[in-house]
Structure 1
Amino acid sequence: MLTILDKYILKRYLVTFFVMILLFIPIGIMANLAEQISKMIDNEAPLNEILMYYGNFTLYIGSLLFPIFLFLSILFFTSKMASNTEIVAILSSGVSFGRFLRPYFIGASIIALLMFLMGMFIVPKASAGFNEFKFKYLKKGRQDRVTNNIFTQLNEHDFLYVSSFDPARQIGYNFTFERFDDNDQLDFKISAANIRWMEKDTLYRLTSYAKRRVRGETEIMETKRRLDTLFTFDISDLTPVSYVAETKNFFELNQFIEDQKQKGASNINAYLLVKYRRWALPVTAFILTIIAVAVSSIKRRGGMGLNLAFGIFVAFIFIFFDKVFGTLAEQAGFSPLLAVVIPNVMFGLTAFYLLQKAKR
């Protein structure tokens, strides 16, 4: 059962957190609008799409900054309590430091659950709208996917390759499709100068088509200048957008990763990194809560300003390590799980040290 102390601290915890979000998100929207409005006008972005973009922007950016908002809000109101000697009075009344932390852990649990549900089910849809608008109007003409040397394993038997892919024209060059039988022997191989998706006719068009069938010791060749045909894969299977993992909810992401593993996707680490980061967010909320309380519960000569400065420094260090290990996982083959775990372990140990120091 919550006591008066629990309700007091929990109320300040949640109110400060949500007020900080309400204060900073509009500032972020105005800064982004001032930077991008010329591109929106030049590319003739419709007003309704702009409004939808900023709705998605709010959810997308807010989810990324949730841990930082949480950290700074705790620093702010706890430093204020320390400056008003409220914490000294609470601890002097016989309340242990561990008992004092209880409402903070309750608040962290509420925020962690909110972050988890949003990250798994709400933010992915917002991410899709945010990125689609960005590449359609703000980064028009820039590629939003890998377009060179694309190799994909469609299933246990089928493999395809294109040397380059133009997503705007939906055409792939130097196309190769191979099918192997149950004994891993080549059944047939199709090659073409290019493959193009004909959306109007819902079929694929192959140029300079050649098909080689293997039947024992015999090879059967078939060639055509042009062939319209069907395949079981979608044109998007050639090269999904770079942010595709961010746009999938909990269930879709798990299935997508399994499919990509079967296909032998080269950028599987990027997808795993997104998955592990979603699971790590609630843990991060607790770690940052402990650090913030440990730092700001002590009354200092520098007052609230010193605590906030230290808090911003810690936040930037956390982001730095998160980005460094994330980049290593995506580009250097480093384990995505370790890339997520190591920063949390480092700051978890820091939180434990600062907590013991604060108790003394």
Structure 2
Amino acid sequence: MLSILDKYILKRYLATFSLMLLLFIPIGIMVNLAEQIGKMIDNEAPLNEILIYYLNFTIYIGNLLFPIFLFLSVIFFTSKLANNTEIVAILSSGVSYGRFLRPYLIGASIIAVLMFFMTMFIVPSASLGFNEFKFKYLKKGKQDRITTNIFNQLNERDFIYVSSFDPARQLGNNFTFERFDDKNELEFKIAAANIRWVEKDSTYRLTSYSKRTIKGDTALIESKRRLDTLFPFKINDLTQVSYVAETKNLYELDAFIKSQRRKGASNINTYVLVKYKRWALPLTAFILTIIAVAVSSVKRRGGMGVNLAFGILVAFVFVFFDKVFGTLAEQSGFSPLLAVVIPNVLFGALALYLLQNAKR
């Protein structure tokens, strides 16, 4: 059963967090609208798509800033409790600091469950709509995927390569398709100046086509100026959009990562990093809550302003570490798991240190 103290702090915790979301997300929408309205008008974005975009924007940005809003809201209302000497009265009545912390951890648990559910199942759909609108109307003409030197392993035997790919025209240049036998020896190789998906006929059109088939010590060469044929892949398998992992829910992302590992995707770390970050987000809620309570539960000469300033500094340092290690994982061989674990371990240690000081 929750005591009066638990209900009092938990109510303030959830109410301040909700108020923070209601105050800052509309401001974010207004700022984004002011920046992008010209592009929306120039590219003739329909009103209904704009409304759906801002619904997706609310979910996408809200999830992105969840930890920061949580952190600042806990600092805000706990500082008010400290300035009103309510915390001194609570602790003087015989309540231990650990008991005082309990409603905060209950609140963090509620937020963590909400964050987990949203991140795994709701945000991916919003991310898809958000990014599709962005590249259709706000970044029109800009590429949303890798378009040069694309190598992909379709399965254990088949490999494809194009030197460049134009998603708008569904055209790839300098195309090769290689198949290996069970002994890992080349069975045949198809090469073409370009490959184009012909949607009307549901076929691939190869220009300057040649096929080299290996049979023992003999190589058979076949060539044609143009050939319409079928392949065991979709044209978009040549390259995925840069935000593809963000658009997949918990189960879809696991299946997608497995398929990309099987294909030998070069940017697999990017997808794995998204997965680990999702799982770590609820843990982040607890770490930031403990840091916020430890920092703001002590009454300071500068009042709430000092606590908020320190809180904002810690929040930005956390984001900085998260981005640095995330970039390392995406652009080098650094482990995605370590990229997620290291910032949380560092700030978890900081949380324990600050908590011990606050208890004293």
TM-score by length of 2: 0.99
2:169 alignment partner AA: R
The CA distance in 2 between the partners of 1:155 and 1:248, in whole Å, is 22
The CA distance in 2 between the partners of 1:314 and 1:68, in whole Å, is 10
Structure 2 partner of 1:71: 71
The CA distance in 1 between the partners of 2:29 and 2:288, in whole Å, is 26
Structure 1 partner of 2:206: 206
- Offset at 1:142? 0.7
Structure 2 partner of 1:342: 342
What secondary structure sits across from 1:100 in the alignment?
helix
2:274 alignment partner AA: V
2:307 alignment partner AA: N
The CA distance in 2 between the partners of 1:328 and 1:319, in whole Å, is 14
- Offset at 1:171? 0.4
Structure 1 partner of 2:49: 49
Structure 1 partner of 2:247: 247
| Residues 300-337 of structure 1: CA deviation (Å, up to 9, x unaligned) | 11111111111011100101111111111111221111
What secondary structure sits across from 1:187 in the alignment?
strand
Structure 1 partner of 2:262: 262
- Offset at 1:220? 1.3
The CA distance in 2 between the partners of 1:106 and 1:236, in whole Å, is 45
- Offset at 1:215? 1.2
The CA distance in 2 between the partners of 1:336 and 1:179, in whole Å, is 31
The CA distance in 2 between the partners of 1:198 and 1:27, in whole Å, is 46
Structure 2 partner of 1:143: 143
| Residues 232-287 of structure 1: CA deviation (Å, up to 9, x unaligned) | 10111100000000000001101111111111111111111101100100110000
Question: Superposition RMSD on alpha carbons, in Å?
Answer: 0.6
5+ unaligned residues in a row in structure 2: which ranges? none
The CA distance in 1 between the partners of 2:323 and 2:60, in whole Å, is 17
The CA distance in 2 between the partners of 1:289 and 1:200, in whole Å, is 56
1:201 alignment partner AA: D
- Offset at 1:186? 1.1
- Offset at 1:140? 0.7
Structure 2 partner of 1:39: 39
| Residues 156-199 of structure 1: CA deviation (Å, up to 9, x unaligned) | 11000000000110000000000111111111111100000111
- Offset at 1:351? 0.4
- Offset at 1:231? 1.0
1:140 alignment partner AA: K
Structure 2 partner of 1:238: 238
The CA distance in 2 between the partners of 1:108 and 1:234, in whole Å, is 44
TM-score by length of 1: 0.99
- Offset at 1:113? 0.7
2:134 counterpart of 1:126: no
| Residues 36-85 of structure 1: CA deviation (Å, up to 9, x unaligned) | 00001111111111001000000000000000000000001100011111
| Residues 122-143 of structure 1: CA deviation (Å, up to 9, x unaligned) | 1001001000110111011111
The CA distance in 2 between the partners of 1:273 and 1:46, in whole Å, is 35
What secondary structure sits across from 2:301 in the alignment?
coil
1:144 alignment partner AA: D
The CA distance in 1 between the partners of 2:195 and 2:122, in whole Å, is 36
1:306 alignment partner AA: V
Structure 2 partner of 1:11: 11
The CA distance in 1 between the partners of 2:52 and 2:209, in whole Å, is 44
Question: Percent of pairs identical after alignment?
Answer: 79
What secondary structure sits across from 1:228 in the alignment?
strand
The CA distance in 1 between the partners of 2:333 and 2:60, in whole Å, is 27
Structure 2 partner of 1:87: 87
The CA distance in 1 between the partners of 2:312 and 2:352, in whole Å, is 19
Structure 1 partner of 2:60: 60
The CA distance in 2 between the partners of 1:121 and 1:199, in whole Å, is 32
5+ unaligned residues in a row in structure 1: which ranges? none
Structure 2 partner of 1:288: 288
Structure 1 partner of 2:217: 217
2:340 alignment partner AA: V
The CA distance in 2 between the partners of 1:126 and 1:287, in whole Å, is 27
The CA distance in 2 between the partners of 1:321 and 1:163, in whole Å, is 35
Structure 1 partner of 2:161: 161
1:13 alignment partner AA: Y
The CA distance in 1 between the partners of 2:237 and 2:188, in whole Å, is 21
Runs of 4+ aligned residues of structure 1 deviating over 6 Å after TM superposition are none
